[in-house]
Amino acid sequence: MTHYDPDLGPVRSALTLRLWLAGFGLVFCAVGAGICFVTGPVWLAVVFGVLAVVAVVDIVVITRRKRRGEPG
């Protein structure tokens, strides 16, 4: 999906940036969940775990969109 902005030219999706950010979020949340599960409050480990699952779902959605040929 490409739009055109007269001032900027073609506007494209930032799927690659979103993929990198989701990957970083996955790693950060997985490590945070592991550390909190061992040393800290278990509720915080559960929150990190849920956020890691959200990051995995986001990565799956992004890769499907990129495989379909969307720019970005």
Convert the pLDDT of each residue in 46-57 to its tens digit: 999 999 999 999
At 1 the pLDDT is 47
Tell me the C-alpha to C-alpha distance, in Å, between residue 48 and each of 10, 13, 34, 36. 37, 28, 9, 9
At 9 the pLDDT is 64
Q: What is the pTM of this model?
A: 0.79
- Alpha-carbon distance of 28 to 22, in angstroms, equals 10
Q: Residue 20: is its pLDDT beyond 90?
A: yes
Q: Rounded to the nearest 10 degrees, what angle do helices 15-39 and 42-67 cross at?
A: 160
More confident residue, 28 or 12: 28
More confident residue, 51 or 13: 51
- Alpha-carbon distance of 72 to 59, in angstroms, equals 14
- Give which of 9, 30, 28, 26 is closest to 62, Cα–Cα: 26
Q: Residue 42: is its pLDDT beyond 70?
A: yes
